[in-house]
Amino acid sequence: MDIEGFRKAGYQAIDRICDYYYSLQKLPVVAQVQPGYLAKVYHTRLDALAAPQREQSGIQLDEQPSMHRAGDGRDGLGGETLGLGDHFMNSSAEGGGVIQTTASEACIVVCVAARSLYMRQHPDAKLEELVIYTTSQTHSLGVKAGLVLGLEVRIIDVKAEDDFALRGEALRTTLETDVGKGKRPFIIIATVGTTSSGAVDRLGEIGEVLKEYPSVWLHVDAAWAGVTMACPEYRGTARLEDINKFATSFGTNFHKWGLINFDASMLWVRNRKHLTDALDVTPEILRSQQHIAGVVIDYRNWHLGLGRRFRSLKVWFVLRSYGVEGFRKHIREGIALNEYFASLLRDFPDISIVTPPSFALTVFRLVPCGSWDHSAPITEELLNMLNRAFYARLSARSDILLTQTVLNGMFCVRFAVGATRTTVEHIDIAWEIIKEEALIALKDSELKVDSSQGVI
Ligand SMILES: *Cc1c(COP(=O)(O)O)cnc(C)c1O
């Protein structure tokens, strides 16, 4: 849909909302439809149970008004698009998907479910013995879940030579040591596309190790990079096969790179009963015939809040207006632009790409190799000082926004593509700015090295 089409559809939507309010009085208070009716409508009238391959020009909202109050929980739209296995879908016997508010909340939810499952399986365990496993590259959601739940968090170190990914061996050693000390590992949070450098943990190796620890839940946090799995060619990099084989739960944010406005954080679990066993506190006032008969999915027992927004509507609109192909095009363009950016960096001798560009993220820093002919050797400390000065110059500008990170002590700059309207021209402009500030930072540091013999 182009901008003018959007304007027109927007006016139509407002008209419909106003008409709806005028007609509200005449509508029955109790929904006149059976649970699951919307899915059937999709099947028979809109043929949109699966996201369409191509964009749909005429999106119509011509269902009866009560649909505003009926919740639709289709998890298939997103899950099928990403290639997740059938065992993660609501249509399966045990699994299911649910939209959470954020990846951090999704992580707390799975930690609660994993803890509850573990305590039921090990009635002798004490809560203070339980440990959540993360790596030094895991998003702060791991530490936060530990804080909220009052549980210990173990942070496993990862190595630069492994591109900051968690390997099976490091996990095995840590688990063995901790179990020897009486600790009880109950969940590990692995990442596909870490925030710092886009690292992808070795899920296959982790899955093999966890075969020896069947009570440990494997949550895969792919908040940023999970949407790349919409493109078949990135499923290998994102380790989809291992996710389908080993993950107990998997989450990705459509509100980051996935074209949907905040919030739309998707969570899929292998066994939805583990969520409801931990979180079902349905009070009497909310017990309905359908609840008792177990014919409806009560998402209030799958997340922290009681009420829910109708967020799947946003997902439906986006996938319907872009089509799966349009969605893939958006992801591919982001990755191609990042590759183009990385190619510009490679032609500049004094910039080093720190880890291989991951999806649409490049992490780099200044390493003055070509022009550095001073008596003082380049130490890590000097490099960090140089790069902090370089980054300070970039952040002082109002025409570019980059972020910083520290990878095992190395201060680095992050460049991520993801906006819908970014083009090659924007990358070129960004590169000119980066180059300009890099040259000044290098020159400044050389002057300082020369005048003070080694100290920048
Ligand atoms: C952004 C991000 C998060 C946090 O997402 P929220 O939805 O804001 O909680 C977690 N993990 C990774 C890998 C991320 O990129």
Domains contained in the chain, CATH given: 65-324 (3.40.640.10), 348-448 (3.90.1150.10)
Percent of the chain with pLDDT over 70: 88
**Is the pLDDT at 197 greater than 80, yes or no?**
yes
Distance 144 CA to ligand 1 centre (A): 12
Among 250-264, 300-314, 382-396, the least confident range: 300-314
The token pair at 426 is 């924007």
Residues 362-393: pLDDT tens digits? 999 999 875 556 666 788 999 999 999 999 99
64: phi then psi, degrees, rounded to nearest 5: -65, 155
Largest CA distance in the chain: 86
Q: Which atom of ligand 1 is nearest to the CA of 256?
A: 1
Which residues approach ligand 1 with their CB closer than 6 A? 102-104, 139, 141, 191, 193-195, 221, 223-224, 253, 265
Q: Is the dihedral of CA 366, 368, 371, 375 positive or negative?
A: positive
Distance 366 CA to ligand 1 centre (A): 27
Please report the pLDDT score of residue 130 as a whole number.
98
Distance 62 CA to ligand 1 centre (A): 36
Q: Which atom of ligand 1 is nearest to the CA of 101?
A: 7
Report the chain's mean pLDDT, rounded to a whole number: 89
**Is the pLDDT at 187 greater than 90, yes or no?**
yes
Name the closest-CA residue to atom 14, ligand 1: 223
Please report the pLDDT score of residue 346 as a whole number.
96
Most informative mutation of 100, 194, 224, 363 for ligand 1 (most atoms within 8 A of CB): 224
Most informative mutation of 148, 221, 266 for ligand 1 (most atoms within 8 A of CB): 221
Distance 297 CA to ligand 1 centre (A): 26
Name the closest-CA residue to atom 12, ligand 1: 223
Bridging pattern class, strands 351-358 and 361-366:
antiparallel
Type of residue found at 227: V
Residue 454 C-alpha from the chain's centroid: 43
pTM, two decimals, is: 0.89
Distance 353 CA to ligand 1 centre (A): 23
The burial of 379, by beta-carbon neighbours within 10 Å (0-12 exposed, 13-18 middle, 19 or more buried), is given as exposed
Residues 404-419: pLDDT tens digits? 999 999 999 999 998 8
Q: Which atom of ligand 1 is nearest to the CA of 194?
A: 13
